[in-house]
Structure 1
């Protein structure tokens, strides 16, 4: 039996119709973000291994693909094997996200960039995931970031641009779940968790949508978290709540939090409602975002038809300072392109007219190329195909590739005006 020939696990081929849908979506995203004043950049697919494993990428560092050094001496290979440390054999690695490369990019080119830099990055990234539906080893990320703006203007611009882009893509009903890492920290302190416990407690709370409230409480008890703090958290989970009429604001945020949180932090987050439609913002006190580099506002894209998020981001003011020695304000948002593109209708026409020319074997190259050149000059997408007995199958395939009309090329067809164009 012949062996199946498939792409590597977790990676995919895209047929023409699929590729056209993806490119259409990417075109909309680029146009929308560009209209909001962002500039596209490009970084290498590989970065130095020390950068990728510097603690900036959180758990994603464990999923990075490493690239072996060239011409390694056998002794060095054996030493690494004996120490069970394959990483010392690598000097480069494939990027696992676009945020770490952006931080390095900004540090490299700061003098050539404006004081407030608005960046677009759209590119593939690689992670050594366990492949499953919706989770791949190679996938595209679509990021926008604002570097150098410490005020809430950065969050407002990024959220507004992202919502506008989702609307342009035709994804109706998207809202933004929003929280602040400072509010999370304050909440854990009110519950009674020690500061040393905070990282692990947040990791457990981040599983809330998967294991539920009781699952979170059970795991915290198993990990020997402060018993009184776990009891307080459990009581908070079971508190009686009433629906808040105001969808997002000081009152709604205050009611969703335990007593004792600094009102200034609440007012700071609620101020976003002055810029972004509050009906599209939803405060979630237990939104964590697993990356440890977030320092302030965090957010995710929610859609009423799906339990998973369609993207996320937040403020990460401390990351770039790791390179420059001084902190630089930064905030970013990443659209989950692979999830979103699967939700889009396969509108792949790409042009107002797409015409299939079906010709006989007797047609000459000069005749066909002249026709095609004339039609393309008039703004029509054109494909030449030799007519087969099963014309219906040809038309079906063409329609799947975005062609909207067809015409037969007769031996005496000399110009586009001679064609009898019909809709597919």
Structure 2
């Protein structure tokens, strides 16, 4: 028999799971809209060449390609070694590349500073494992057309507000700048052509530690003097730098451009002013984020309840220029929806009345549906169930599906005589 399971790395969602996800998405949408962002929608597919134009980093290797229509067996065999000759479309692997194309297409119809929301599924040919799926939802906000620290601050403030609204107070954001990383590697003495590989290794710092990073760099044979300088920097006494001019400078070697440090300081001051409290920002000079299109500030969302990030993003000023032929500043933040859903308690929607009408077999259909329609008109969510021999199982299932009350309906039951009892 054919398998009835969904494809590997993809999932079905039962009604209670789907309702829970939609409640979380509703909060995210509401908070993002409250911060002045507008939702857009782009196709699930983009041109193959666009998805493989060097904009998506390693995600390009995980793209699902779509076979060209009309190719016969001989044409497929002839093109077997050239994926670009086999495919002309692909499923989007993120929402940033489609947004850049969207902006280039509709720029004349958009405001000078455009604040976009995108909430949609994406697809990656991941190796399926716990926490990694081939289809998952991304929740992105982006600001296009603003090169100032205000744009990053708006993204951070809105994303922290989402966590608070979901009951995940206490979130913080790790912040760095790709220009800081490049300047540090220059100060240490790494050659420009070595730096991409060095950053890949440094990105493993949380997993392998300072000694592991240094050992891997030595094995790769990069500039020995630069590795020594990096090792000495990593061995210095570690302190949690304050997110101000003095704290950021103390966490960095000398020689980092004042302009970059000033941008970070302004960012911290703006977020603090917006939040009305000390900014929950943490400067991390070794935050890398692997996407090659980042050009400036980069950040990751953290929460004390878990040891992994709940989202992240950064500035990608060079991407839209690839479509327009002129540079347009852009910065984005993506919340890890799947991870956040897993953190939240499984609770029904607050303020929503949800009831089950358990009716006898002989209740006329017209009478039953009239009772239901009256409750629906009053704002309730209503399910109708025929009385079962195993009432306990019926009520337990209804409670698991998110219903809170039930009432029994007989032939003579009226709207006024309905007696509701809690399901749990």
In structure 2, distance between residues paired with 1:85 and 1:210: 36
1:66–1:87 Cα contact (<8 Å) kept = no
* Unaligned ranges ≥5, structure 1: none
Correspondences of 1:335-350 after superposition (within 5 Å): 335-349=335-349
CA RMSD after TM alignment: 1.3
Matching residue of 1:108? 105
Deviations 1:377-400 (A, max 9, x none): 111111000111221222211112
The secondary structure found in structure 1 opposite 2:79 is helix
Matching residue of 2:293? 293
In structure 2, distance between residues paired with 1:187 and 1:328: 26
Indicate which of 213, 234, 257 corresponds to 1:216: 213
The secondary structure found in structure 1 opposite 2:343 is coil
In structure 1, distance between residues paired with 2:271 and 2:289: 21
The secondary structure found in structure 2 opposite 1:254 is helix
Matching residue of 2:87? 90
Cα shift at 1:259: 2.0
| Range with bigger deviation, 35-44 or 277-286 | 277-286
In structure 2, distance between residues paired with 1:369 and 1:349: 24
Matching residue of 1:179? 176
In structure 2, distance between residues paired with 1:241 and 1:390: 63
Alignment pair present for 1:199 and 2:196: yes
In structure 1, distance between residues paired with 2:239 and 2:374: 67
Matching residue of 1:417? 416
Cα shift at 1:73: 3.3
Matching residue of 2:54? 55
Matching residue of 1:251? 246
Matching residue of 2:303? 303
Matching residue of 1:72? 71
Runs of 4+ in structure 1 deviating by more than 3 angstroms, as ranges, are 241-244
What's the TM-score once normalised by structure 1's chain length?
A: 0.96
Cα shift at 1:260: 2.2
1:118–1:147 Cα contact (<8 Å) kept = yes
Matching residue of 1:190? 187
Alignment pair present for 1:159 and 2:166: no
Q: Structure 1 pair 5/75, CA: closer, same or farther in 2 (3 Å)?
A: closer
Cα shift at 1:174: 0.9
The secondary structure found in structure 1 opposite 2:346 is coil
Cα shift at 1:350: 6.0
Cα shift at 1:306: 1.5
In structure 2, distance between residues paired with 1:336 and 1:199: 26
Alignment pair present for 1:263 and 2:258: yes
| Range with bigger deviation, 302-311 or 312-321 | 302-311
Indicate which of 264, 268, 272 corresponds to 2:267: 272
The secondary structure found in structure 2 opposite 1:120 is strand
Q: Structure 1 pair 149/305, CA: closer, same or farther in 2 (3 Å)?
A: same
Cα shift at 1:16: 0.9
2:269–2:279 Cα contact (<8 Å) kept = no
In structure 2, distance between residues paired with 1:78 and 1:318: 38
Q: Structure 1 pair 157/243, CA: closer, same or farther in 2 (3 Å)?
A: closer
Deviations 1:127-147 (A, max 9, x none): 000001110000000000000
The secondary structure found in structure 2 opposite 1:189 is helix
In structure 1, distance between residues paired with 2:2 and 2:58: 36
Deviations 1:235-288 (A, max 9, x none): 1111124455xx311111111111222233212211122121344100000000
The secondary structure found in structure 2 opposite 1:145 is strand
Cα shift at 1:195: 1.0
Matching residue of 1:121? 118
The secondary structure found in structure 1 opposite 2:358 is strand
In structure 2, distance between residues paired with 1:166 and 1:242: 27
In structure 1, distance between residues paired with 2:2 and 2:93: 31
The secondary structure found in structure 2 opposite 1:130 is coil
2:297–2:315 Cα contact (<8 Å) kept = yes
In structure 2, distance between residues paired with 1:333 and 1:163: 11
What's the TM-score once normalised by structure 2's chain length?
A: 0.96
In structure 1, distance between residues paired with 2:76 and 2:383: 54
The number of residue pairs the alignment matches comes to 418
Matching residue of 1:34? 33
1:351–1:380 Cα contact (<8 Å) kept = no
The secondary structure found in structure 2 opposite 1:328 is coil
